[in-house]
């Protein structure tokens, strides 16, 4: 199959490109500079510019672009988080709508769309989106794919938890305190903390691309939800480190501002659509996903 990737320079984009190429698929990377090698096409999401003729006849368009949310959300940076997702999705969706043969359109999204703190409530793809900055971003982000939907493309939006891999920026941030011997639960520890292994995230992208029965929002998280306290214990065990220094909620709020809710809020997201369609997780539990994350080169 021929895949076109937006956000190919990020952690997930690089991993997906390697995985697809290793399996014999053709990968076209969208870049914002002048192309330097075969398989690169220049685009400018800020102006909605993308050369349709250069795309050819792709089977799958995937957008993984988006500014890192793991830093304080100043008003200026909020705008960057929003626009980096909406403009890229909209540009790629407009391109998909104009192609002669409608491709599959896959865009990354986030479980943060369900709201800052959903407690113990089980969240499936049928659950309503919630309140808060990221929920608003998710509405706009997923809505930006409308041109592709209206043109008859099968569109899937991957509402993904934290992807676990030793080279993933989020995982490195989570594991650093434990490596220094000062790790512990975040906030109360009772909040559900949606995660997934990189291996399974890659498999989900391929599964969605290849199965016509999957469309719309798709939760990408462990089928066995875990609280932050239990995740902390599993992470400490995987790293052979103690988990003795909890970080109070007020400290996280003081240091991280509203982003702290991504760590202390609760999102008990279940991958109901994937499981109903027959997808099985290679690493269905946190200990298995952590072991896989640490074993990858």
pTM to 2 decimals?
0.95
Categorize the per-residue pLDDT at 261 as very low, low, confident or very high, splitting at 50, 70 and 90: confident
pLDDT tops 90 at residue 22: yes
Locate 151 and state its tokens.
């043109």
How far is residue 111's CA from residue 250's CA, in Å, rounded to a whole number?
Answer: 23
- Strand 40-44 with 49-50, pairing: antiparallel
Q: How confident is the model over 53-75, as a mean pLDDT? A: 92
Under a CB-based contact definition with an 8 Å cutoff, are residues 273 and 157 in contact? no
Instruction: Encode pLDDT of 274-289 as tens digits.
Output: 999 999 999 999 999 9
CATH superfamily, domain at 2-295: NAD(P)-binding Rossmann-like Domain (3.40.50.720)
Beta partners for residue 27, in sequence order: 3
How long a stretch of residues is the chain? 297
pLDDT at 213 over 80: yes
Each residue's pLDDT tens digit, 97-146: 999 999 999 999 999 999 989 999 999 999 999 998 999 999 999 999 99
- E strands, 139-260, where? 155-160, 162-164, 195-197, 216-220
Is residue 257 very low, low, confident or very high in pLDDT (cuts 50, 70, 90)? Answer: confident
- Residue 297: pLDDT band (50, 70, 90) is low
| Cβ proximity of 115 and 122 under 8 Å | no
**Who wins on pLDDT, 150 or 296?**
150
> How many CB atoms lie under 10 A from the CB of residue 245?
13
pLDDT at position 36: 86
* The predicted structure's pLDDT at residue 173: 86
Read off the pLDDT band of 263 (50, 70, 90). confident
Looking at residue 237, its pLDDT comes to 95
Phi, psi at residue 190, to the nearest 5°? -85, -10
Rounded to the nearest 10 degrees, what angle do helices 133-143 and 75-98 cross at? 20
d(CA 105, CA 97): 10
Question: Is the predicted pLDDT of residue 290 greater than 70, yes or no?
Answer: yes
Residues 296/165, Cβ–Cβ less than 8 Å:
yes
What does the alpha-carbon distance between residue 249 and residue 204 come to, in Å, rounded to a whole number?
Answer: 33
């Amino acid at each position: 199959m021929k895949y076109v990737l937006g956000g190919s320079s990020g952690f997930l984009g690089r991993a997906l490109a390697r995985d697809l190429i290793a399996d014999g698929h053709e990968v076209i990377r969208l870049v914002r500079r002048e192309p330097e090698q075969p398989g690169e096409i220049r685009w400018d999401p800020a102006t909605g510019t993308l050369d349709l003729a250069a795309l050819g006849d792709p089977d799958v368009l995937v957008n993984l672009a988006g500014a890192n949310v793991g830093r304080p959300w100043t008003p200026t940076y909020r705008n960057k988080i929003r626009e980096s997702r909406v403009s890229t999705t909209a540009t790629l969706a407009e391109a998909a709508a104009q192609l002669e043969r409608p491709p599959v359109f896959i865009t990354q999204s986030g479980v943060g769309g369900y709201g800052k703190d959903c407690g113990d409530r089980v969240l499936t793809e049928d659950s309503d989106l919630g309140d808060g900055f990221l929920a608003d971003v998710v509405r706009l982000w997923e809505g930006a794919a409308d041109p592709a939907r209206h043109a008859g493309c099968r569109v899937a939006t991957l509402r993904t938890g934290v992807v676990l891999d030793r080279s993933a920026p989020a995982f490195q941030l989570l594991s650093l305190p434990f490596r220094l011997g000062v790790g512990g639960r975040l906030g109360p520890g009772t909040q559900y903390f949606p995660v997934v292994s990189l291996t399974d995230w890659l498999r989900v992208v391929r599964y969605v691309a290849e199965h016509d029965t999957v469309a719309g929002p798709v939760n990408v998280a462990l089928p066995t939800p875990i609280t932050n306290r239990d995740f902390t214990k599993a992470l400490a065990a995987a790293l052979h480190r103690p988990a003795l220094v909890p970080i109070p909620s007020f400290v996280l709020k003081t240091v991280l501002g509203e982003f702290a809710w991504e760590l202390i809020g609760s999102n008990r997201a279940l991958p109901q659509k994937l499981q109903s369609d027959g997808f099985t997780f290679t690493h269905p539990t946190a200990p298995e996903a952590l072991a896989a994350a640490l074993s990858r080169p």
